[in-house]
Amino acid sequence: MLSGSEMYGTQPERIAGVLEALGESGMVLSYEEDRAFAALSLERFGAVGSSRLDWHGAEVIERCGAFDGGQLRRMVGTYAGANELVVVFWANLAVPSVALEAALVARHAEAVLECSPECWIYLTDSGVLIEFQDGEGLTAGRVPPDATDGAGSTMRAADGESE
């Protein structure tokens, strides 16, 4: 079985639609960059199952039952500055994370959500994380200041399959 660093980014075709829409405005992150941003966001939450954040103890700002691009666009517009750096993580480490401006996430929200049934959008300046679970909706909350128990570090599958 491949390690996370060996598996990371081996399936960029899964985000081809987003990359095409962004052109040179988005940046595919290296494994080291992905891990650095995950340490500031995803890894500060525990995990429920294999690909859901444990929001217990975190400040949840909003829960939305809708799971479409329009709602993601609205949430990004509400919680991020237009030029704020955003990192989009997908549930599978084989799919590389992408960094771009918040306005571009809003403009291409449908393409972002089409890439995976689960993703997380980290608003770096605002300290807000938006979780998308297809069929369940969107949750936005403040990233906790300290790591809870490191359980979030195991959320993203490293086996080539999104769980």
C-alpha to C-alpha distance for 67 and 79, rounded to whole angstroms: 17
Could you give phi then psi for residue 106, rounded to 5 degrees?
-60, -45
* Burial track 46-70 (b if 16+ CB lie within 10 A, e otherwise): bbeeebbbbbeebeebeebeebebe
pLDDT value of residue 9: 93
Q: What is the pTM of this model?
A: 0.88
pLDDT value of residue 153: 47
Residue indicated by tokens 């990233």: 143
Lowest mean pLDDT among 10-14, 80-84, 148-152: 148-152
pLDDT value of residue 157: 56
The answer to whether the beta carbons of residues 141 and 61 sit under 8 Å apart is yes
C-alpha to C-alpha distance for 97 and 54, rounded to whole angstroms: 21
pLDDT per position as a tens digit, 13-55: 999 989 998 888 999 999 999 999 999 999 999 988 777 899 9
Q: How confident is the model at residue 1 (pLDDT cuts 50, 70, 90)?
A: low
Helix (H) or strand (E) holding 105: helix 102-107
Contacts of 98 (CB under 8 A, 6+ apart): 15, 18, 19, 22, 26, 27, 28, 29, 87, 88
SS3 assignment, position 82: coil
pLDDT per position as a tens digit, 121-160: 999 999 999 999 988 899 999 999 875 444 444 455 554 4
Over residues 64-75, the mean pLDDT reads 92
